[in-house]
Amino acid sequence: MARRILSSEATYRGASSRQRAGANKDLDVVDEWDRHLERSLTSILRAHHRDSRAFKREVPTRRTGRRLDLAPPSERRLYRGPITMLADIDGHPVVVEVTPTTDAGWRAIQDHDRAVFQTVNHDDDSRLARSSRRVVVDAETGRRYRFYVDGEGIRDATDSGEVELQELFYSGGSHHDLDSRLDREEAE
């Protein structure tokens, strides 16, 4: 079986620059499909100038009738690099860096980041409850992290400077460039 480039950091770094560019396109396709479920995966692949066979080698897909669909996020194990999240460590909000094992974990972190920004900027804690029972497993260490969901605690931590919102992922970026993110980490 061929080695999947998006299975881990080691396989991603070991790939040629052309293969890495294709892998970044694959991540863009997955994200666009998640945003626009009404569009067919084939049309999104065409818009991104990506060959469907090369895409299917990297990303788990399924046939639903005659339509090509992605596997559910809980079954997609795509390496997207590390991401920061606001975790509950001994009852305190702490920004930690994790590499989620699945796309479902990655999406949960993004949703929680949006909820944290909404809590701090608009005093609205309603979206935090969605993350109260979620757990994200770090692929590198195997450690399990819970989301910090206390709205008052988040506001207090940001007011005191204990937590900086700029440390969280939520930035609105839409294109993937794992090389620049990994290079930035090495420089630090």
For residue 25, give the amino acid letter. Answer: K
CA 86 to chain centre: 14
Q: Which residues contact 15 (CB under 8 A, 6 or more apart)?
A: 5, 23
Closest CA to 86 of 117, 57, 52, 43: 117
Q: Would you say 104 and 111 are in contact if contact means Cβ atoms under 8 Å apart? A: no
**Model confidence pTM above 0.85:** no
pLDDT at 12: 86
Q: What does the domain layout of the chain look like in residue ranges?
A: 5-75, 83-175
pLDDT at residue 172 in the model: 46
Nearest to 62 by CA among 41, 35, 87, 85: 41
Q: How many residues does the chain have?
A: 188
| pLDDT < 50 positions in the chain | 1, 172-174
Nearest-10 crossing angle of helices 151-160, 103-122: 70
DSSP string of 33-56? HHH-TTS-HHHHHHHTT--HHHHH
**Which structure tokens are listed for 163?**
């937590």
Separation of CA 26 from chain center = 14
pLDDT at 115: 92
